[in-house]
Amino acid sequence: MNPDLEKLQPYPFEKLNSLKTGVRPPAGKPHIALSIGEPKHQPPAFVVEEVITHLHGLANYPITKGRPELRAAAGAWLTRRFGLPTDSIDPEANLLPVAGTREALFAFAQAVVDRSRDPLVLAPNPFYQIYEGAALLAGATPFFLNTTAENRFLPDLDAVTADVWQRTQLIYLCSPGNPTGAVMPVEQLQRLIRLADEHDFIIASDECYSELYFEEDTPPPGLLQAAAAMGRDDYRRCVVFHSLSKRSNLPGLRSGFVAGDRELLRRFLHYRTYQGCALPPPTQAASIVAWQDETHVKANRDLYRAKFGAVLDILQPVLDIERPDAGFYLWPKTPIADTDFTRGLFKQQNVTVLPGSYLSREAHGLNPGAGRIRMALVAELDECIEAAERVRRFVESL
């Protein structure tokens, strides 16, 4: 067996299941899960119909690179959404469909990290655990950038020493952040691009929450947008990851794309001809129409706005909790240890949340997730309100 497998830590939900072992919640209260970031809104009916209509395509092998029509639709969306220069995203060279961003984020590190050079892979802390696993199985050492309230939940680039930058081969970003919802401004993205030029590393920006925001006229910026504003429309050293899971409530479709630096994408495609999972033809057909429509995406944002407004009205009087910049998570402080809070809430109210310490690592003298919980507002409005009222009753009982 690959010895690096022993370096992988249990997934947060494994730890959560262990934490809840032996606890019996009240039988009269139905369970409400706020722990998993799985969208629960209905998928767009026209996308589902497109899957059904194209089921005959299962008779054919799909190609790794995907249909030209899919690459064109995704590239056109990316260009429109982030105001990129016309024709700077060549669907033949700058974009590659993938079976959801989870597998692509992992596979990317395996393709680009040179394990012979004692590499570092940087990631925010707390983080999506795929970043850590990808680094370890690529033969790299993860280096965590703590994101706390003091630095607005954004990586502190000034805290990274020159010798760390010199060993860095890849940095993962997540903007809007999971679990914090923090959005990295264009100026900070551009600062990171200049650091990548100076120290020769790659930026992988996980932007799968980019379409879940509150103000319609101020969508979160993206890495390629920041690069283009610098006159860098070759997107050198920059790669972004986008998905239909959150944007379009299609987590089961497993459809996304990677875009950016054409040389990196050329090499990544070569890797994926051996490892990658090509999107089934019905998935590709459905993805084309999903990327071409914005009406359902705006309606999705409206649903989340309503939930955040209602839940915050209930919880802000009793918890240190703020609306995030974007995304669908709340990241409140807990009045007791985050694990005790999670276990007690489940025992008393049959509501499951995720301890923040399970989403982060001890780094530079602290665990930045400790003393917080992640609450995913993915359920329907009435269920989110019921969950918030139960959380409030639990807090008031402490």
pLDDT tens, 142-157? 999 999 999 999 999 9
Query: What DSSP assignment string belongs to 180-226?
Result: T-----HHHHHHHHHHHHHHT-EEEEE-TTTT-BS-TT-PPP-HHHH
Residue 189: CB partners within 8 Å, gap ≥ 6?
Answer: 173, 175, 205, 221, 223, 226, 227
Nearest to 8 by CA among 163, 169, 91, 129: 129
Instruction: Give the count of beta carbons closer than 10 Å to the beta carbon of residue 178.
Output: 24
Nearest to 37 by CA among 316, 392, 327, 283: 327
Specify whether the CB–CB gap between 387 and 40 falls below 8 A. no
Domain annotation for the chain: domains and CATH numbers: 3-42+296-397 (3.90.1150.10), 60-293 (3.40.640.10)
**pLDDT more than 70, % of the chain:** 100
Q: Which two tokens stand for residue 26?
A: 């009240």
Which pLDDT score, from 0 to 100, does residue 185 have? 98
Amino acid letter, 102: R
Provide the pairing of β-strand 256-260 with 168-174.
Answer: unpaired
Least confident interval from 52-61, 307-316, 385-394: 52-61
Specify whether the CB–CB gap between 124 and 182 falls below 8 A. no
Cis peptide before 62 (omega within 30 of 0): no
Question: Taking 80 as the threshold, does the pLDDT of residue 55 lie above it?
Answer: yes
End-to-end CA distance of the chain: 47
Specify whether the CB–CB gap between 147 and 179 falls below 8 A. no
Which pLDDT score, from 0 to 100, does residue 248 have? 98
Query: What DSSP assignment string belongs to 52-109?
Result: HHTGGGGGSPPPTT--HHHHHHHHHHHHHHHTPPTT-S-TTTSEEEES-HHHHHHHHH
Which pLDDT score, from 0 to 100, does residue 121 have? 98
Residue 326, helix vs strand vs coil: strand
Cα 7 to the center of its chain, rounded Å: 22
Which pLDDT score, from 0 to 100, does residue 111 have? 97
Cis peptide before 10 (omega within 30 of 0): no
Report, as an integer, the average pLDDT of 218-245. 98
CA 166, CA 311: separation in Å to the nearest integer?
44
pLDDT tens, 128-138? 999 999 999 99
Report, as an integer, the average pLDDT of 32-50. 96
Amino acid letter, 69: E
Question: Taking 90 as the threshold, does the pLDDT of residue 276 lie above it?
Answer: no
Averaged pLDDT score across all residues of the chain: 97
Q: Which two tokens stand for residue 384?
A: 């989110």
Nearest to 304 by CA among 177, 195, 215: 215
Question: Taking 90 as the threshold, does the pLDDT of residue 275 lie above it?
Answer: no
Residue length, the chain? 398
Q: Which two tokens stand for residue 303?
A: 């649903």
Which pLDDT score, from 0 to 100, does residue 98 have? 97
CA 242, CA 273: separation in Å to the nearest integer?
20
pLDDT tens, 343-367? 999 999 999 999 999 999 999 999 9
Q: pLDDT band for position 280 (50/70/90)?
A: very high
Indicate yes or no: pTM above 0.95.
Answer: yes
- CB-hemisphere CA count at 13 Å for 370? 8
**pLDDT more than 90, % of the chain:** 99
Which pLDDT score, from 0 to 100, does residue 277 have? 84
Instruction: Give the count of beta carbons closer than 10 Å to the beta carbon of residue 61.
Output: 8
